[in-house]
Structure 1
Amino acid sequence: MNSGLMNQTDCPEVMVPFTVFFIVGVVSLAENLLVVVAVIRNRNLHSPMYCFICSLAAFNTIASVTKTWENLMIVLSDMGQLEKRGPSETKLDDVMDSLLCMSFVGSIFSFLAIAVDRYITIFHALRYHNIMTMQRTGVILGAIWTTCGMLAVLMVKFFDFKFVMICLVVFFIISLAVICFLYVYMFMLARIHAKNIAALPIGRKSRRQQRWSSIMRGALTLTILFGAFVVCWVPFFLHLIIIMVCPMNPYCECYRSLFQLHVVLMMSHALIDPAIYAFRRHQCTFVVCFIYP
């Protein structure tokens, strides 16, 4: 390293073989395409909940394709087949960065939409179909994809400005806080609701308890999905925070040397989600058969 630019560090950069990126990208792409195709082709899954699940899978698919494509270009560049900083390569790199940002922001918005949908399902069950119509769901999805596309382009175009990086990190933290609040509040109210069910006569209690247990299993599945998202993306955002806070510190450089591992973990989120669907409801005939009784 150039001591005039940054402090010395004894931590060499950890390199991840291209094969690992390629396998994670291809497997996650296949899994999420399976989810998207299943939701589109199965009329029984044409409901607001599954539309948001499909949107999340589509964003995961974009992330998988983007990172696999980017790593393939790096390999071709190392082989001398591509000019590393040619004009076309620079523009293509911006496009891939925009798609990756769109995937991240879209995943956050999808999780938020799912959390709100679950809240309405649990605590406004009688009015759910009047509140969450397919028309409103389409408008919400259109707003999510349009907003994510615009934000992604702006973030990449002005990413050199520290203010933009700060906004991205703050957005991530606030979004996590809002979604966590919704889930915590939901489970707190669910505990009270469960006590009320326990006080009902035996005949009514058994039917309502069975339905309530099914709904809460779905909410728990979504909580696990959100937890996986946090685990997979937080190391990458710690990397961004370190770039802003201590770019010259050798200890920070040690953490930054793990960047490729953070990227693999970030890509793994798209691979983990369908696996959680299957694990939580393994008795279903298809990977996305969960949430509703």
Structure 2
Amino acid sequence: MNNTAMNQTDCPEVKVPFPVFFTVGIVSLAENLLVVVAVIRTRNLHSPMYCFMCSLAAFNTIASLSKTWENLMIVFADVGHLKKRGPTETDLDDVMDSLLCMSFVGSISSFLAIAVDRYITIFHALRYHNIMTMQRTGAILGLIWTLCAVLAVLMVKFSDSYFIIICFIVFFIISLAAICFLYVYMFMMARIHARNIARRWGSNMRGALTLTILFGAFVVCWAPFFVHLIIIMVCPLNPYCECYRSLFQLHVVLMMSHALIDPAIYAFRMAELRHTFRKRLFCLKWKL
């Protein structure tokens, strides 16, 4: 018995019902659009940290939209309304993959920008407004979105190359290490200077803790997908690896769930955003 046959017999692919994909995609899309609108239209939230969080929500919106649209295409193909391997469908699939790559790179870049912003807030509080001006924040966001768009196109265009996959994984690991280092350093310093922090840095450390929770959720939701990429390169035909790959649709649902979880963390941990959400939802109900 060859590997393929054994893999198909022992570890059949786990299928996730389309309504699950669609529900997660639509709910997360609505949640993150609410975050984007809340930050844009509320003056009290026009600060570097909330701008970076708005960018993160926008990337989550792109991820939700792209995966929902991709799953709709799969459903249409299954019922015969689209060709599974037609030239138009292949191009659309490449666009969806490009947007997903852009969302990932943009999300982790936004997390890195937020981590740096929190570091400056805590350890350079007196100079913060001179360092993190809105002009610099805009320039950083412009750089993030430009680089993400370029990298996403390159990743999809050369997706068959292992070099691109390796770069993708290395970027994830390096960014993860840099963000973890900043947060660990901040909390170590917080413990050393506990009394001063209690008087001056309490709210800033609470914000850093909230963002640490957000980043932890990001890692948990995206890590299985990256293990999948590593397995593709390291052991593409091994039956045990194939068993893990058979769970790919579950990994995709978990990856999409990150966009669903973030707004809930915002609402639970951040009073300003929670108040803004209530106000926006109340206005929306009043208009309806």
Which residue of 232, 239, 248 maps to 1:250? 239
1:63 aligns with 2:63: yes
Distance 1:51 1:281, change over 3 A: closer
Tell me the distance in 2 between the aligned counterparts of 1:170 and 1:58.
Answer: 24
Instruction: Tell me if structure 2 keeps the 8 A contact 1:277–1:287.
Output: no
**Structure 1 residue 210, shift from structure 2 partner:** 4.8
Which residue of 231, 238, 252 maps to 1:263? 252
Runs of 5+ unmatched residues, structure 2: 280-288
1:98 aligns with 2:98: yes
The secondary structure found in structure 2 opposite 1:247 is: coil
Tell me what 2:170 maps to: 170
Instruction: Tell me if structure 2 keeps the 8 A contact 1:83–1:89.
Output: yes
The secondary structure found in structure 1 opposite 2:16 is: coil
Moved more, 247-256 or 278-287: 278-287
Counting only pairs closer than 5 Å after superposition, residues 95-174 of structure 1 correspond to structure 2 as 95-174=95-174
Tell me what 1:49 maps to: 49
Tell me what 1:201 maps to: none
Tell me the distance in 2 between the aligned counterparts of 1:282 and 1:17.
Answer: 36
The one-letter amino acid paired with 1:286 is T
TM-score (norm 2): 0.92
Instruction: Tell me if structure 2 keeps the 8 A contact 1:277–1:288.
Output: no
Tell me the distance in 2 between the aligned counterparts of 1:6 and 1:158.
Answer: 26
Tell me what 2:207 maps to: 218
Moved more, 109-118 or 184-193: 184-193
Distance 1:47 1:209, change over 3 A: same
The one-letter amino acid paired with 1:285 is H
Tell me what 1:272 maps to: 261
**Structure 1 residue 7, shift from structure 2 partner:** 6.3
Tell me what 1:8 maps to: 6
Instruction: Tell me if structure 2 keeps the 8 A contact 1:274–1:288.
Output: no
Tell me what 2:283 maps to: none
Tell me the C-alpha RMSD between the 2 structures.
Answer: 1.7
Runs of 5+ unmatched residues, structure 1: 198-207
Aligned residues: 276
Which residue of 285, 289, 293 maps to 2:275? 285
Tell me what 1:202 maps to: none
The one-letter amino acid paired with 1:229 is F
Tell me the distance in 2 between the aligned counterparts of 1:248 and 1:37.
Answer: 46
Moved more, 228-237 or 167-176: 167-176
**Structure 1 residue 264, shift from structure 2 partner:** 0.1
**Structure 1 residue 44, shift from structure 2 partner:** 1.2
